[in-house]
Amino acid sequence: MAIKLNDKFLTSFIRKEELANMQSAASSAYELLLSKKGPGSDFLGWVDLPVNYDKAEFSAIKAAAEKIKKSCDILVVIGIGGSYLGARAAIEFVKSPLYNNLKKDTPDIYFAGNNISPTALSELISICEGKDICVNVISKSGTTTEPAVAFRVFKAMLTEKYGEEGARERIFVTTDKCRGTLKQFSDDAGYQTFVVPDDVGGRFSVLTAVGLLPIACAGIDIDDMMKGAEDARAAYSSPLIDENDAIKYAALRNVLYRKGKCVEILVGYEPYMLMLNEWWKQLYGESEGKDGKGILPDSVVFSTDLHSLGQYIQDGQRNLFETVISVKNPGAEFIIPNDPANVDGLNFISGKSLDFVNKTAMLATLMAHNDGGVPNILLELDDRSAHSFGYTVYFFELACAVSGYMLGVNPFDQPGVEAYKKNMFALLGKPGYEDMKKALEERISK
């Protein structure tokens, strides 16, 4: 088992009957998902993806990853939101947040097009100077401004450095299979393309070419990752809360939300969890935050953030709960050395492993936060393997969909993301937005 949900730090906040009372709502939401009759049912490709993925595409991903590994020092992955967070989360979780600094036989991987910062883009361009570069641009719609701008810059850079022909061998495009300007343009230019399936939305797409190509380029075993997701799919096949931890997690969140706990903080105890936290925030924030409803997803990495947000969590407004991810086997061992002079007074832990101290910090914090009125859901993960990552992705995706249906929203759309885009296009003078531009400029000048 890759994940175990432990609810012992919830007992003073949720009675057994309260959870049991959610059974009917939870199984209805689960059945709605499986029957494909709920809102957003055009976007359920991720449900069976671990067993139904396109095997030819999967082989092409592996072959392209080998080609990229052989031909560059740096892979620039261009994408935003669901088109980058999953890959970055996987690379940091399975390899390291310091992946680029590790000794390795795989290229450095940098992410671009996930902001509009001239500073970030200039810095990356200077890092790329004198290096061999490949680019994987990822955009389902093919029209998102941030990655499109970055792609313009890197396409020009590669063409100048390698010529049209050489650049063609180094640009890999992941986009919709037939719609969108990026697909049309890539076919015309002769770039190798990979597909974001029609029925998989951005934030559910990490186990498609969107995530798998960069992940494979980092030397991570993507077969093992898919197997993890497949094992999770098999493990979470019961509609019963007591037999299905993904549904139980959805139901527990729902009970807590009804009790006024409208902020959920995902807690990791390892720096390699930071981007998994970010991936999770997008998944839950975009899926549930709509129609005036939804739990606000937040995240921390302890013990680092115990020295920043720890005070608020212990003592601030009591509208939050935590979901703590504990990794049983963190992957490395470190024994605290003895100091005969004991100048720092730490000899009471000399000879102990750092993981033991980290896990003790976790237990201490769980109890302190419980005493401070913060319910804690504990998720125990076996390890940080590719298999566990795939398993965790499926666990959270399934729970998110069930939770969204329990909340009464469409978990698969994101209408709110368009509001800033329309304003930005109008203000930047995009053709077709003239009236809006005028109205916004009047607002600004008032």
Q: Which is nearer to ligand PA5, 40 or 81 (CB)?
A: 81
Catalytic residue numbers read 286, 307, 421
Stretches 1-9, 119-127, 135-143, 361-369: which one binds ligand PA5 (CB under 6 A)? Answer: 135-143
> CA-CA distance, 87 to 96, in Å (whole number)?
12
CA geometry: angle 227, 202, 189, nearest 5 deg: 100
Q: Which is nearer to ligand PA5, 149 or 336 (CB)?
A: 149
Q: Which is nearer to ligand PA5, 345 or 415 (CB)?
A: 415
How many residues belong to the site for ligand PA5 (CB under 6 A)? 14
In whole angstroms, how close is the CB of 396 to ligand PA5 at the nearest point? Answer: 14
CA geometry: angle 332, 333, 338, nearest 5 deg: 150
In whole angstroms, how close is the CB of 352 to ligand PA5 at the nearest point? Answer: 43
**Window 175 to 234, contacts with ligand PA5 (CB under 6 A):** 201-203
In whole angstroms, how close is the CB of 403 to ligand PA5 at the nearest point? Answer: 16
Say whether residue 81 binds ligand PA5 (CB under 6 A): yes
In whole angstroms, how close is the CB of 190 to ligand PA5 at the nearest point? Answer: 22
Query: How far from each other are the two terminal CA atoms of the chain, in whole angstroms?
Result: 60
Residue nearest to ligand PA5 (CB): 202
Name which of 266, 299, 257, 282 is nearest 416 in CA terms.
282
Contacts of 363 (CB under 8 A, 6+ apart): none
Q: Which is nearer to ligand PA5, 134 or 182 (CB)?
A: 182
Say whether residue 144 binds ligand PA5 (CB under 6 A): yes
**Window 145 to 174, contacts with ligand PA5 (CB under 6 A):** 147
Per-residue x/- track, 268-297, ligand PA5 (CB under 6 A): ------------------x-----------
> CA-CA distance, 285 to 275, in Å (whole number)?
15
Per-residue x/- track, 82-121, ligand PA5 (CB under 6 A): xx--------------------------------------
Judged by CB under 6 A, which of 27, 136, 139, 392 binds ligand PA5? Answer: 139
Say whether residue 50 binds ligand PA5 (CB under 6 A): no
In whole angstroms, how close is the CB of 300 to ligand PA5 at the nearest point? Answer: 22
Judged by CB under 6 A, which of 49, 80, 173, 247 binds ligand PA5? Answer: 80
In whole angstroms, how close is the CB of 141 to ligand PA5 at the nearest point? Answer: 3
Say whether residue 355 binds ligand PA5 (CB under 6 A): no
In whole angstroms, how close is the CB of 83 to ligand PA5 at the nearest point? Answer: 4
Q: Which is nearer to ligand PA5, 197 or 202 (CB)?
A: 202
> CA-CA distance, 397 to 400, in Å (whole number)?
5
Cα 211 to chain center, whole Å? 10
> CA-CA distance, 86 to 100, in Å (whole number)?
17
Q: Which is nearer to ligand PA5, 270 or 286 (CB)?
A: 286
Answer for the pair 9, 366: CB distance below 8 angstroms, yes or no.
yes
In whole angstroms, how close is the CB of 281 to ligand PA5 at the nearest point? Answer: 11
CB count, 10 Å around CB of 320? Answer: 22
Q: Which is nearer to ligand PA5, 140 or 290 (CB)?
A: 140
Q: Which is nearer to ligand PA5, 149 or 368 (CB)?
A: 149
**Window 400 to 429, contacts with ligand PA5 (CB under 6 A):** 414
The footprint of ligand PA5 (CB under 6 A) covers: 80-83, 139-141, 144, 147, 201-203, 286, 414
